[in-house]
Amino acid sequence: METHYIFVTGGVVSSLGKGIISSSIGKLLQARGYDITIQKFDPYINIDPGTLNPYEHGECYVTTDGMETDLDLGHYERFTGIQTTRGNSVTTGRIYQSVIDKERRGDYLGKTIQVVPHITNEIKRMMMRVDDPKHYDFIITEVGGTIGDIESAPFMEAIRQLKWELGKRAVSAHLTYIPYLKAAGELKTKPTQHSVKEMQSMGIQPEVLILRTEHHLDQPILDKVAMFCNVDTDCVVQSEDLPSIYDVPVNMHRQGLDAAILPKMGLPVGETPALGPWRNFLDRMHNAKEEVHIGLVGKYDLQDAYKSIRESLIQAAIYNDHKAVLHFINSENLTRENISESVKGMDGILICPGFGQRGIEGKITAAEYTRTHNIPTFGICLGMQMMVIEFARDVLGMKDANSREMDEATHHNVIDIMESQKNLTCMGGTMRLGAYRCALKDGSRVREIYGETEIQERHRHRYEFNNAYIDQYENAGMRCTGINPESKLVEIVEIPDLKWYIGTQFHPEYSSTVLKPHPLFVSFIKAAISR
């Protein structure tokens, strides 16, 4: 089968959920037996989101091959179980960089470089994944931003050209907003009509419309949108507010979104997929009544800043037949005086990753309190490093123990910069990124949790546990139970005498999916429930 292409765009406003819709389409096509991949094209000029503040862009997701990417790639992986790569995340910056590099090499033979055709051709090449040796039945491309944005224009032109070149092998799915005017008590379709007209003015006629709405849309509204937007009625579906993002694929399936797309591409609809495992997950989610309360100790009071961690905890709780209730605890405000009240009612504490000085003393305070009160504790990346620093200060007696990131003059640099990072001056894409091996020690809790002797997990860091202190930690009760076999980097620490006290240098949240929750999160939640 030739590769088919689905382009997902958004109109009226941003944050409508294009990533969730793209993931849902991918999931439904997978259920029909197709091999799919999903990619995100972002109009911003940054090469990647690696240097962006989480308040600007939310979480920075990391692929197995070490690319810092948009958080939507996390949705793609969680929904479909696919492993994304650097080819699944493309920005305007990467596109222009590629074109400029080619021009410098002389690839264009002295031609004047222009947006059309050179930039648009590069976009098309990347959208079609020309350099990817793997064959896909469907490539789903989500375009960031909204229709009408100046920076999106080259992407729209590339899509127009591809739809003309590929014919039925390319379909446009447009997600747009139907606002509700409370004072008038009316749902309004005009914004959607204008959004579609904007696409039409660019030479693109969407075949499928997904209407984002906070209120259920009756059939007359769907018919009206279909008529004024030149779209078949069965190709207009609604994406109304639902209790969980994981309900969306089933909702799209119930409305026949996948069955509407396939005929547009000249493909048979075939048998209706049962979505058995996914529905089983939803049943467990909807039937979970008991709550487990987890405190997230971090400095970003923003849901998207710790998106993958939040979803991993939610998934793990469901597989423990519980509902995760997550409480953000601002580490900047944590002190020895208020820590007891701040974590009151928490069944477990997760010390979040991050960078920089801000809020670290609060994380150290949290680590000390949970360690001494035997509260299940999970530290990730910087969170693990703060657990290590706290142990050095309060157990090993190294009162000035710190990370070289925070204090270059510390006499006890229990966390130090990695050798490979010492001479780097460029911030973007230079950390230890992507999947690395980790050998798990026999008899350790993590060895029992994983049920394997060696694992691979994804990283995003510059600083590491200082191996010069391993013996002191081991002798005092904090074991280094996960070691990279090549670099000897300490990847995991744990205190086996406590109920559950584990820190990981890597980010396990990046590899937790709906149908395959990460074992560390499942075990952590289980411990929190039984506390």
Query: Which residues are marked as active site?
Result: 381, 507, 509
User: Three-state SS for 447?
Assistant: helix
With H, G, I as helix, E, B as strand and everything else as coil, classify residue 163: helix
Query: Strand, helix or coil at 261?
Result: helix
Alpha helices in 373-419 (DSSP H): 382-394
Between strands 463-465 and 479-483, the pairing is unpaired
Residue in this structure with the two tokens 């989610």, named with its chain if needed: 285
Give how far the C-alpha of residue 273 lies from the chain's centroid of Cα atoms, to the nearest Å. Answer: 26
E strands of 100-199, at which residues?
Answer: 138-143, 170-177, 180-181, 186-187
CB-CB contact of 271 with 43 (8 Å): no
Residue 341 phi, psi (nearest 5)? -70, -35
Cis amide bond preceding 49, omega within 30: no
Residue linked to tokens 């820190």: 503
Q: What are the phi and psi torsion angles at 82 (to 5°)?
A: -75, 160
End-to-end CA distance of the chain: give it in Å, rounded.
53
| CB 400, CB 406: distance < 8 Å | no
d(CA 231, CA 235): 7
How many C-beta atoms surround the C-beta of residue 140 within 10 A?
25
CA torsion sign, 357 to 358 to 361 to 366?
negative
Contact 360, 383 (CB under 8 A): no
**β-strands 4-10, 170-177: how paired?**
parallel
Contact by Cβ (8 Å): 39, 85: no
